[in-house]
Amino acid sequence: MAPESKPRKPYRTYRGGRSGGSDDADAARFDFTGRSAAASAPARDRTPEGLPAPDMRPRHEPLPGRRVAEPPPPGGPTTRPGFFRRRWRRILAIGIPVLVLLFAFWLYLGYRAFSDEVAKANKRIDKRTKAALAPAGNILRSPQISLVMGSDSRGKSATAGARADSILLVRTDPGAHLISMLSIPRDLYVPIPGHGTNKINAAFAFGGPPLLIRTVNRLTSLDVNHVVLVDFTGFRDLIDQLGGISIVNPTKIVSSEDFDGHGWQFGKGPIHLDGRRALAYARIRHTTNAADSDISRTERQQRVLQSLMHEVVKPSSLLHLPSIGRAVAKPLATDLSANELIGMGWIKFRAGRTLECHLGGTPLVLGGQDVLQSSEQNAAVVQMFLGQSAPQPAPKGQLYAPGCTVQ
């Protein structure tokens, strides 16, 4: 007898796992494992021999539209390309105009300090002195002559009973870019209007700047357009403000008498002088050198003035303009305005050369005092000073002879 068979169940019990098949036709679209596609993809043919294998690496093509920010690669830069370049451009675009404005403001402060002090210097010139001056045009367009005087007065007044310690004519020629200086020895024996014949520096004691201007006009046949009186104390302070001056001393100088309470010695060659030493170098009269004279003393004064003018107009002096501007005008009494003094500085800055001249004569003893009898060659030196003839140096061995040299 055959065993009784069990009845077939109409359903199957799900016990986990995957079913061996599926009746859902769309199920393959939701299979993200790639197995269905791989199973259904036809087999690829082998690459023929001699041909390179195709690149099967996945390609990451950029999506169309705006770029999407991406994190930086490990160890790479943390800023966008060109970030620092754009940042520096912004800094320069703002910083340069600010620096220009600050520099312009600094120049303005210096000019104000200078012009205020020049205004005080203009008030120190009286009407009589201004009346003795010849009219002048624009200092940047026409040649002009300024009389520079330094007084050896030790009193309260710069002119009462004083004698001019140094007398110097400065001619500015903007067309020729030339500065010319003509030193007049203080012991030169010349006619003084209304006072007979005497040393030229006595004219300052007899009638102050007006009489000295008329005396110089008669001696040189030149018209003086401007006047500058220098107080030697302030002159010393100005040199200290500039940090000193440098000159080339042609001969060793040793003073034989004290000046300003001290003996002085200056070596031959390049030397650097502070205010006190520069003043002594320019003014000492008695030295151990037998060849030293009042002519060589005027040459020392020209060297100091030349170096001082060079320091004042240097571009680096702009960094100290407020203090220097005040110090430049403080020791002066002048009819020159602030703009005219700046114009003189501009001519000096552009000048490629300087003509240095001095008058001379024959040493004599008249009335118990040492004087210089004016040389006949002084008129020729004045023509050199004006640029109307070629400069000629003084003959060698003649200590008191007039002449000119180009520096």
pLDDT tens, residue order, the chain (407 aa)? 455 555 555 555 555 555 555 555 555 555 555 555 555 556 666 777 777 777 777 666 665 666 666 666 665 555 555 656 677 777 777 878 888 888 778 778 878 888 888 899 899 999 999 999 999 889 999 999 999 988 654 444 444 445 577 889 999 999 888 899 999 988 899 999 999 999 998 899 899 999 999 999 999 999 999 999 988 777 788 888 888 889 888 888 888 888 888 889 999 899 999 988 988 888 887 888 877 777 788 888 888 888 887 777 776 666 677 777 778 888 888 999 988 988 888 888 888 788 999 999 998 888 888 888 999 999 999 999 999 999 999 888 788 889 999 87
- Structure confidence at residue 158 (pLDDT): 46
- Structure confidence at residue 101 (pLDDT): 85
Contact 181, 353 (CB under 8 A): no
364 Cα distance to chain centroid: 47
Instruction: Walk across the sheet containing 197-199 and list its strands.
Output: 197-199, 188-191, 369-374, 361-366
- Structure confidence at residue 279 (pLDDT): 87
- Structure confidence at residue 161 (pLDDT): 46
- Structure confidence at residue 127 (pLDDT): 92
- Structure confidence at residue 32 (pLDDT): 52
**Total residue length of the chain:** 407
- Structure confidence at residue 40 (pLDDT): 56
- Structure confidence at residue 251 (pLDDT): 87
Closest CA to 209 of 169, 172, 158, 170: 158
Pairing, β 269-273 against β 361-366: unpaired
Angle (deg, nearest 10), helices 294-312 and 338-350: 100
Distance CA 167, CA 177 (A): 23
SS (H, E, C) 2-38: CCCCCCCCCCCCCCCCCCCCCCCCCHHHHCCCCHHHH
Distance CA 130, CA 41 (A): 114
Structural domains of the chain, ranges and CATH numbers in brackets: 107-406 (3.40.630.190)
| CA distances from residue 125 to 122, 133, 216, 330, 336 in whole angstroms, order as listed | 6, 12, 18, 14, 10
Contact 332, 223 (CB under 8 A): no
Distance CA 110, CA 332 (A): 17
- Structure confidence at residue 105 (pLDDT): 81
